[in-house]
Amino acid sequence: MVRKTKENAELTRQGIIHAAREVFLVRGVSCTTMEHIAIQAGVTRGAIYWHFNNKTELFQAMREQVFLPLIDRMDDTLLVEDSKNPIDRIENFLCKTIQTLNESTETRKMYEIMLIKCEYVGEFSSVLRQILLTSSDIEEKMQLAYKRAKEQGQLHSSHNPAQLAIDTQLFFIGLLLMWVRDSDGNHFRNRAIELIKAHMNLRHL
């Protein structure tokens, strides 16, 4: 009985997250209330507050569903100490992220919400800090991969791994922003992999 209750509670929680994603996508985060989400989820506001203290906490839970697998994949791809092709691993990580966006509706919606449907002010300033921490973590791991590439003689001696990591991070953030805005796929979505490969080719000797 207890197990069934926990399972039902988790199903309700996931349903609320799914409903929030759909409402955020249509209304934008700042214009969405808990009442909007409750109606979409078919639950009471009390049910939402049983799982989440506020809209920020709900947003963070929704974000974690997408970003925790991303971080795990990044670790598996970039943090291989004996890798003979660190630059290729960075490229593979970036390309795989785009492939996930192409294949996963949930991931695509979450990126769209984060990049163009949310204002990071007021209570959501804490969300922005978390996003910046995640971005910094990705940058550090890219820097480590570039450092290994330089140690293996795959980069020009004048190249600075830290600067290359920042450059790649900024390039990819910009690409993601234009990718989510390119809803008809005529400008960036169909060329994203090609653009990543062109960017990474500039790193090779």
Residue 120 has pLDDT above 90, yes or no: yes
Give pLDDT, residue 68.
81
In the predicted model, what is the mean pLDDT of residues 155-169? 94
DSSP H helices in the chain: 2-27, 34-41, 45-51, 55-78, 86-103, 105-116, 125-151, 161-181, 192-201
180/188 Cα distance (integer angstroms): 9
Q: What angle, rounded to 10 degrees, do the helices at 125-151 and 161-181 form?
A: 130
pLDDT at 71: 78
CATH class of 55-201: mainly alpha
Q: Output b/e per residue, 39-51; b: 16+ Cβ within 10 A.
A: ebbebeeebbeeb
Tell me the C-alpha to C-alpha distance, in Å, between residue 187 and each of 91, 163, 182, 194: 21, 28, 6, 12
Taking only the tens place, the pLDDT of each residue in 47-90 is: 999 999 999 999 999 999 888 888 778 777 777 766 788 999 99
For residue 32, what pLDDT is reported? 97
Percent of residues, the chain, with pLDDT higher than 90: 75
- The domain segmentation of the chain, as residue ranges, is 1-52, 55-201
**pLDDT given for residue 134 in this prediction:** 87
Kindly indicate the confidence band of residue 4, based on its pLDDT and cuts at 50, 70 and 90.
Answer: low
**Overall fold of domain 1-52:** Arc Repressor Mutant, subunit A (1.10.10)
Taking residues 186-193, report their average pLDDT: 91
**Distances from the Cα of 26 to the Cα of 31, 91, 105, angstroms:** 10, 33, 15
